Amino acid sequence: MSKAQSKPEGVTPSQTVGPYFAYGLTSNGKYDWNDAFSNNLVTADTSGERVRVEGRVFDGDGNPMVDCMLEIWQADAQGRFSDPQDKRALPNSSFKGFGRCGTDADGRYAFDTIKPGIVHDPDGKPQAPHLVLAVFARGMLLHLYTRIYFGGEAANTTDPVLVLVPVDRRATLIAQQAHCNGNAVYSLDINMQGDNETVFFDV
């Protein structure tokens, strides 16, 4: 093993995830491979309100994107992150807060998780409950970041990130409660382009 190089000239550029990531990166049961990730974030010790977040992903022609990889990152129900950089105690220690899902033949995705708690912004202002969503696909040279908020949350009106978004585009970030048989189901489609083009963030 040799030494790390001196200061790099810049980051390694991003390239598309391509069409063939599924057998390596997502859980799908089709290949003889020990899945590292799934779209179910709920573990035995996870506290909080169970929710399913689901929807479909569409390209600029309105066709479903059947080869998307979506990743979510979120706080637990108390607003803490499963990351050593978050120094607060984490009683539900097996909750990782990370999920990965490949879209199906209809461009559909679904995550089973819990509604996250309040995370503050750098000024200490509370943010409304949200998931951070990263979108990867063939035809995307660099993934996109967006957020998923939860319809019906009073805090959405004062969320310091949502208020940066033009009023007529905020709906593209807020999942609406669909039906409820046992656990709450929230639905949000991702549109790469078009009248309802999803808001993506420059982060």
Partner 1 sequence: MTLSYPLQSLTAHPPRLSPGYKSTVKRSPTKPLIPMRHTLSELTGPVYGHETVRENDNDLTLQGKGEPLGERIIVHGHVLDEDGRGVPNTLVELWQANACGRYVHVVDQHPAPLDPNFTGAGRTQSDSEGYYRFVTIKPGAYPWGNHHNAWRPAHIHFSVFGHSFVSRLVTQMYFPGDPLFPFDPIFNSVTDEKARNRMVSDFDLENTQPDWALCYRFNIVLRGRNATPMETK
Binding site for Fe ion (CB under 5 A): 18
x/- letters, 132..171, toward partner 1 (CB under 8 A) = x-x-xxxxxxxxxx---------------x--xx------
Q: Closest separation between CB of residue 118 and partner 1, Å?
A: 11
Amino acid identity, residue 32?
Answer: D
**Whether the Cβ atoms of residue 65 and residue 16 lie closer than 8 Å to each other:** no
User: Shortest distance, CB of residue 54 to partner 1, whole angstroms?
Assistant: 21
In this chain, which residue has its C-beta nearest to Fe ion?
Answer: 18
d(C-alpha 67, C-alpha 57), whole Å: 10
The end-to-end CA distance of the chain, in Å, is 35
CA dihedral 59, 19, 14, 171 (to 10 degrees): 30
Among 166, 150, 146, 126, which residue's Cα sits nearest to residue 53? 150
Whose Cβ is closer to partner 1: residue 138's or residue 178's?
138
Give the one entry of partner 1, Fe ion, none that residue 49 binds, where binding means its C-beta sits below a cut-off of 5 to 8 angstroms depending on kind: none
Residue 44 or 142 with smaller CB distance to Fe ion: 142
158 binds, among Fe ion, partner 1, none (CB under 5 to 8 A by kind): none
